[in-house]
Amino acid sequence: MPIDTKTNVHTELWKLSPHVIGLEASIIREILKISSKPGVINLAGGLPAPELFPIKELQKCMLDVIEKNGPVAFQYSLSMGVVALREEIAKRATGRGSKSTKDNILITSGAQQAIELIARAFIDPGDYILTENPTYLGALQAFNYYKAKYTSAEMDNEGMIIDQVEAKIKKHSPKLIYTVSNFQNPTGITMSLERRKQLVELASKYNIPIIDDNPYGDIRFEGEHLPTLKSIGGDEVIALRTFSKIISPGMRIGWMNSPVDILAQFEKVKQCTDLHSGTFNQYMIYEFLSQGMLEPHLKNICADYKKKRDVMLDTMKAHFPEGVTWTEPEGGLFLWVELPKHMSAEKLLPKAIDQKVAYVYGQPFFPSGEGENTLRLNYCNASPDNIREGIKRLGKLFKDNM
């Protein structure tokens, strides 16, 4: 029977799980579909700058993998991941203050899969997860599949407001604390050192694991790196990392750094999901790291992203009307804009698309559904000229709709 996407014949006739029918498509993917139309300046997606992908280096790694590891790189491999890559990752984590061995490391198909494995392993319908408000939409999507509930702490410029956390733990007994501690998606905010220590203390007091989802920590282009939650909290913390934002998202290689006994549980879940992440890509990343290609590449992307962030901030200062505020991140990909309370970023988006500029409106990032007046901008993916032009158009749009 041919699939009729217009009339949803199969969706109605076949007995799909209500879990799937009830799932919402990612709003970001929907906005990306619109914003990838020709001529639209895309400040919406979470995409790194494609012109900075280290193509030449990756080409060398590819040839080296074939030459050195030949058939093994094309074979099935361990669910935990390629040993050499896990050892390299553990060495780097130890160097950053989280003493780790390969036995703490599980390679995943991006950090997104790590979130999904955690949700599967921990969440029964109705279980609470404590998050920041707002938080990463992809995590909410993964957790929603398992019918999680949320209790969320507000944020200020130092990250999650810890004073709110203990009462929420007492009230809801969350199974997990989920945070994006560095250059958070969506706000660009980084949790301060003091707050990190306080969060670890609370997690330890109530025996709740902290999931520190940290794709952006290495992309710091200003200020000093802060100790990671894992280096402060040790076994209280499951750290999620990824090569998506620092090498290539298409490679789909991320990892978890977790206490060994828990990792054995995740290994079983990973086996059910996809047996293992792509062997060849793991070997490629290993070559990239072991040949010392990551450090110069990081310098390169940090320099470029800083320049683009500055262009965006300078243009916002010149063109955004009074009453609009924004964050000024010292790294990562995103900044966060708040319009006056009475304005709706969602309602303004079609008008922005008419003006050929796209952003992601903020409401879906809030587990509790507020934030109508907020939006997220990516300063890494567009060219400086397009950032300038896009922000000018948004400035005019906001002024006209104040």
Q: Which residues bind ligand PLP (CB under 6 A)?
A: 46, 110-112, 136, 138, 180, 185, 213, 215, 242, 244, 249, 254
- If the CB atoms of residues 144 and 242 are measured against ligand PLP, the closer one turns out to be 242
Cβ-defined contacts of 314-317 (< 8 Å, 24+): 315/387, 315/388, 315/391, 315/392, 315/395, 316/391, 316/395
Smallest gap from Cβ 253 to ligand PLP, in A, equals: 8
Of 101, 65, 53, which is closest to residue 287 (Cα–Cα)?
65
- If the CB atoms of residues 122 and 136 are measured against ligand PLP, the closer one turns out to be 136
- If the CB atoms of residues 277 and 373 are measured against ligand PLP, the closer one turns out to be 277
**Under 8 Å CB-to-CB from 202, ≥6 apart: which residues?**
162, 165, 166, 169, 208
Of 323, 322, 341, 355, which is closest to residue 43 (Cα–Cα)?
355
Smallest gap from Cβ 334 to ligand PLP, in A, equals: 8
Residue 148 · residue 127 · CB < 8 Å: yes
Q: What are phi and psi of 291, to 5 degrees?
A: -90, 10
Q: What are phi and psi of 371, to 5 degrees?
A: 80, 30
Residue 48 · residue 253 · CB < 8 Å: no
Smallest gap from Cβ 242 to ligand PLP, in A, equals: 3
Residue 31 · residue 348 · CB < 8 Å: no
Rg (CA), the chain: 21
Smallest gap from Cβ 381 to ligand PLP, in A, equals: 12
- If the CB atoms of residues 257 and 315 are measured against ligand PLP, the closer one turns out to be 257
Question: Tell me, what DSSP letter sits at residue 49?
Answer: P
- If the CB atoms of residues 302 and 397 are measured against ligand PLP, the closer one turns out to be 302
Q: What is the C-alpha to C-alpha distance for residues 396 and 344, in angstroms, rounded to an integer? A: 15
- If the CB atoms of residues 129 and 343 are measured against ligand PLP, the closer one turns out to be 129
Question: Tell me, what DSSP letter sits at residue 161?
Answer: -
Residue 129 · residue 147 · CB < 8 Å: no
- If the CB atoms of residues 100 and 244 are measured against ligand PLP, the closer one turns out to be 244
Sign of the torsion angle spanned by Cα atoms 40, 45, 46, 47? negative
Smallest gap from Cβ 289 to ligand PLP, in A, equals: 16
Q: What is the C-alpha to C-alpha distance for residues 94 and 99, in angstroms, rounded to an integer? A: 4
* Residue entry with tokens 């916002």: 316
* Residue entry with tokens 């279980």: 127
Smallest gap from Cβ 181 to ligand PLP, in A, equals: 10
- If the CB atoms of residues 294 and 348 are measured against ligand PLP, the closer one turns out to be 294
Smallest gap from Cβ 227 to ligand PLP, in A, equals: 19
Token pair listed for 144: 């929603």
Smallest gap from Cβ 252 to ligand PLP, in A, equals: 7
Smallest gap from Cβ 402 to ligand PLP, in A, equals: 31
- If the CB atoms of residues 46 and 233 are measured against ligand PLP, the closer one turns out to be 46
Q: What is the C-alpha to C-alpha distance for residues 382 and 358, in angstroms, rounded to an integer? A: 11
Q: What is the C-alpha to C-alpha distance for residues 336 and 338, in angstroms, rounded to an integer? A: 7
Residue nearest to ligand PLP (CB): 110
